[in-house]
Amino acid sequence: MMKRMIGLLLAAALMLSAAALAEGIDYLALVNKQHQLPEGWEDSLEIVEVTNSVDQKVEVEKKTYEAYLALAEELEREDGIHIELDSGRRSVAEQQEIRDNFMVKYGEEYTRKTVAVPGYSEHQTGLAIDLYFITADGTTVYYNEDLTKEEYYGVWDKIHEKLAKNGFILRYLKGKEGVTDYDYEPWHLRYIDDPELAREIMEKSLTLEEYLGEAAALPAYVYPFAGENPVMAAAAEYLVTADLGCEPEEGGVLIPAPIVLKEETGETEATLWGNFWVFAYKLNGSILECTAGGENPGVMKLEKKDGKWQVVSLELAEDGADFDAGIRAFANGDAELEKAYYLSSGADEGYLPQYRRSFIVEYVNANKLDGVAYQDNGWEPVDITM
């Protein structure tokens, strides 16, 4: 084993970036489906390139690779387990290729749960490694479906017991899929360069998101077409910041679904007649679970001040017995508008489903929340990829 390790070290090719070395790296940097690789990250990497047992070249950040060698030597010496590097640092093109291959081999659902979109993959940090292993009889256990077989549970237990000592944590834990938005991956390790902290995280069964206080935090809603429709942008911003009785849970987000039934816009003033729905969501795995929501039928007035549109008033229909009178007042004798108000009021029929889906799709795409569906309590998830 020692000869093999020395050979690997001698064969390793250090590829230094044009800028600073690894002293500028934040070993606790969070990269996931909501947090992109920090700008300029690769300029601070010192990379080692090695060849594994199946003749694949793997790149790893230098200190991460040194920690991997220590882990591998310890497992071989104490447990007779021979681990290998399956994957380390990936370029954008490599990440996309892997994703495309998984789509073909495993399908969309599995791919969404296991392979990140480029720019949001922890593998691009150089601090994440995927393992495979070779059994005592020389069998190479390489593919995901084989690595997760019950007969190898004991092997992973022994590997995981030694992670913290060498500065690694298990990144995607069983039972924490709702936090990481990835299925359990016993092979995916993350180097954090601090054995004591790694031990604390492992002993408490924390994800990196939980330790950093970033568990399932969703980006704030921003209307993505402000340049094309500044009036709607102002309306949407108002709906997610005004007190309309709909609050998201911690880490959640408000996403509006305004149904504009009539609009009059001049140079400096605008009036919108419609039902200004707002929904609160939290992320549970790949599902945007609706935790609150409601309609706000009324008339919104906006003004353009200093070149920017802003809401100056929102008159809403009263609840209960006065609701119909309020709708009639808003319609002001316009029978078609009055009818449209009622069509905008049904939560599961009428105009709302298509508007709601449209705003969720725009939010998901703008924030690269890959493969997300949304779900109301007691209902099946609604696929937004169709």
CA atoms of 280 and 288, how far apart (whole Å): 9
Neighbour tally for 2: CB within 10 Å? 9
The angle that helices 323-331 and 335-343 make with each other, rounded to 10 degrees, is: 130
Looking at domain 2-211, which of 3.40.50.300, 3.30.70.100, 3.40.50.720, 3.30.1380.10 is its CATH number? 3.30.1380.10
pLDDT in tens, 81-118: 999 999 999 888 888 998 999 999 988 878 877 788 88
* DSSP code, position 38: P
Give the type of residue at 45: L
Q: What would the DSSP string read from start to end of 111-123?
A: HHHH-PPTTS-GG
E strands, the chain, are 13-16, 46-51, 57-61, 82-87, 128-134, 140-141, 168-172, 185-191, 253-265, 269-284, 287-294, 297-305, 308-316, 373-375
CA atoms of 234 and 196, how far apart (whole Å): 49
Q: How confident is the model at residue 227 (pLDDT cuts 50, 70, 90)?
A: confident
pLDDT in tens, 244-259: 999 998 889 999 999 9
- Which position among 185, 209, 289, 295 bears the catalytic label? 185
- In terms of pTM, does the model score above 0.75? no
- The domain locations on the chain are 2-211, 230-375
Angle at 326 between CA 325 and CA 332, to 5 degrees: 90
Instruction: Verify whether residue 46 is a known catalytic residue.
Output: no
Token pair, residue 215, equals 């568990």
What pLDDT is stored for residue 94 in this prediction? Answer: 87
